[in-house]
Amino acid sequence: MTSPKIIEAENLTKVYKGKVKAVDHISFYVDEGEIFGFLGPNGAGKTTTIKMLNTLASITEGKAIVDGKDVTKNPAGVRDVIGVVPQELTADDELKGIENLLLSARLHHVPRNEAHKRAKDLLKLVDLENSAERRVKTYSGGMRRRLQLAIGLIHTPKILFLDEPTLGLDIQTRTKMWEYLSKLNKDEGITIFMTTHYLEEADSLCSRIAIIDHGAIKVSGSPSQLKEKLGGDILTIELGAGPDITDFLKGIPDVSDVTRRGQAYRIKLPKTEKALPAIVEGVTSRGLQIIEISFTKPTLDQVFLDVTGKSMRDEDAGESDSVMQNFVNERMR
């Protein structure tokens, strides 16, 4: 039995100031109860898409339905059922952790008694129960992110939008956040729509993902489906000086694609074990020296590379600017 669609976007388009097309006629859906990952390079249109779905940005063209409500015609209805955890750390520094949660509860019309109970439960979930009475300005970056997540959940939303929820966190805290999100999804049935820069995060958490680039969705599906689409394993072989053997490699049965960078060949093949003997034999019979040989099972990073033409690691390097900006913003408070 398939779950009903809780988010449906049809030809969703956003043009800023009549000039900059941030999102270009994208269509996708999110099933109720799933964790949906939205991946893409910087400036691909991820945050703009989230902003359109959570009513922060107007829709230039197309349509978006969230929990059966048209985002343009009934934004108030949409706000009733969503929780948003933005990229920025927006919890109030001068307020205590618990005060931030109770303020958010009040703004979402959660009854007072219920709000206190829910706040306590959430603080426990994100391991902040011992810091609840401390002002947020004394929190570390990881604690702030966890509090931010709790704030987004205080009113028990049906859908939670997470924009880079683990940005800038160390690996331990990031892993902990994944645990919280999985637990929320499983125990409370909350649908999660998230953007992330960490492909291992999308791989481990998301039931389906979409990769967006230049404002358009390039590919979507479950992580395993997308990896399968790559055509199996990737064998990388680096040779000593010699002639180009691309044509020879392409001629080997089971090899689906070969790309060459210098003397390094990147070979796509369904099963490395089957084609490897023929490749090695062909190379050695041509008198070429094998300097290095390695093979990898497909990863989301390779899917990303395949689809966008760049690795997410390159993106991470570019991301340092925004991390720095966040740091500056935090210091400004």
Partner 1 sequence: MFDETLALTNRALKKWVRNPATIFPGLFTAAFYLALFGNSFNPTNLIPTSSNGIPIPPAALAQAKAAILTTTFGGAATYITYLTAGVICLIVVFNMAFGGIDLVLDRQLGYFGTLLTAPIPRAAIYFSGVFQNLVKAMFLGVLTFVIALLIPDGLILTPSFGVLEFLGAFLAIGLLGLGLSCLFTAIALSVRTIDSLIAIVNFLNLPLIFMSNALFPSSSFPGWLKAVSDVNPISKADEAARILIVKGNPSASGQLGTVTGDLLYLVGFVVVMGALGYLVARRALRPE
Site for partner 1, rule CB under 8 A: 16, 51, 54-58, 75-76, 79-80, 82, 84, 86-90, 92, 94-95, 99, 103-104, 106-109, 135, 151, 329, 332-333
* Strand ranges of the sheet holding 290-296, from the earlier edge strand across to the other edge: 257-261, 264-269, 233-239, 290-296
Instruction: Tell me how far, at minimum, the Cβ of 90 lies from partner 1, in Å.
Output: 5
- Residue 22, token pair as written in the block: 């941030």
Counting Cα atoms < 13 Å in the Cβ hemisphere of 236 gives 10
Instruction: Tell me how far, at minimum, the Cβ of 249 lies from partner 1, in Å.
Output: 50
Instruction: Tell me how far, at minimum, the Cβ of 136 lies from partner 1, in Å.
Output: 11
Residue that has been written with the tokens 């009854």 in this structure: 111
The nearer residue to partner 1, 229 or 333, going by C-beta atoms, is: 333
Q: Which helix (DSSP H) or strand (DSSP E) does residue 211 occupy?
A: strand 208-213
The nearer residue to partner 1, 80 or 238, going by C-beta atoms, is: 80
The nearer residue to partner 1, 126 or 159, going by C-beta atoms, is: 159
Instruction: Tell me how far, at minimum, the Cβ of 33 lies from partner 1, in Å.
Output: 21
Counting Cα atoms < 13 Å in the Cβ hemisphere of 295 gives 16
The nearer residue to partner 1, 167 or 279, going by C-beta atoms, is: 167
| Alpha helix ranges (H) inside 68-170 | 75-81, 97-107, 112-125, 141-153
The nearer residue to partner 1, 87 or 196, going by C-beta atoms, is: 87
- Residue 208, token pair as written in the block: 């389906």
Alpha carbons 152 and 104: distance in angstroms, whole number = 8
Instruction: Tell me how far, at minimum, the Cβ of 26 lies from partner 1, in Å.
Output: 17
